[in-house]
Amino acid sequence: MNLPRPILFAILLPFSILSAYALKEVGYFGIFASHLHPAGLQVLTDLVIALTLVMVWMAGDARARGVTVWPYIVATLALGSFGPLAYLLLRGTASSPALAKNWA
Largest Cα–Cα distance in the chain? 49
**What is d(CA 73, CA 20) in angstroms, rounded to the nearest whole number?**
21
Q: Please classify residue 59 by burial: count the beta carbons closer than 10 Å to its beta carbon, then call 0-12 exposed, 13-18 middle and 19+ buried.
A: middle
Amino acid 34: pLDDT:
79
Task: Kindly state the DSSP code that residue 94 receives in the 8-state scheme.
Answer: G
Per-residue pLDDT of the chain (104 residues; tens, 9 = 90+): 678 889 999 999 999 999 999 999 999 888 888 788 899 899 999 999 999 999 999 999 999 999 999 999 999 999 999 999 999 999 876 544 444 444 43
Q: What b/e sequence results for 8-30 when a residue is b if at least 16 CB atoms lie within 10 Å of its CB, and e otherwise? A: beeebeeeeeeeeeeeeeeeeee
Amino acid 71: pLDDT:
97
Amino acid 4: pLDDT:
86
Domain positions in the chain are 5-94
pTM score, whole prediction: 0.78
